[in-house]
Amino acid sequence: MAYEQRDNSGSLFKNTYKQRDNQPDYTGNAVVDGSDYRVSAWVKDGSKGKFFSLSFTPKDAMGESATAPTAPSSPSKTTTKAPVKREVIEDEIDDEIPF
């Protein structure tokens, strides 16, 4: 049985392919209100310690940008979700995975 992501939850995994500083430290997926998102996380240093800076990108928006341009559709049918950016502050980040 395949894993099915529950609504309003997500998973992050260490980005082992990171080559530049602007690439995320962690990447993963989330489902928010029934919509699929790609999650990117950067570990940052703040005045109170380390924290995660998160970016949420709708998966349907990612698929549209990867394909060749198509004829524009009527404005009433066009719906574009802007990426949602959230910051979560953590006092201590444990990079060890317990399993």
DSSP state of 62: H
Q: Are 60 and 34 in contact (CB under 8 A)?
A: no
Please tell me the predicted confidence (pLDDT) of residue 80: 55
Please tell me the predicted confidence (pLDDT) of residue 79: 53
| Beta partners for residue 40, in sequence order | 27, 55
Please tell me the predicted confidence (pLDDT) of residue 76: 47
Residue ranges in the chain whose pLDDT is less than 50: 65-77
pTM for this entry: 0.60
Picking from 53, 52, 51, the residue whose alpha carbon sits closest to that of residue 91 is: 51
Please tell me the predicted confidence (pLDDT) of residue 60: 87
Please tell me the predicted confidence (pLDDT) of residue 45: 95
DSSP state of 55: E
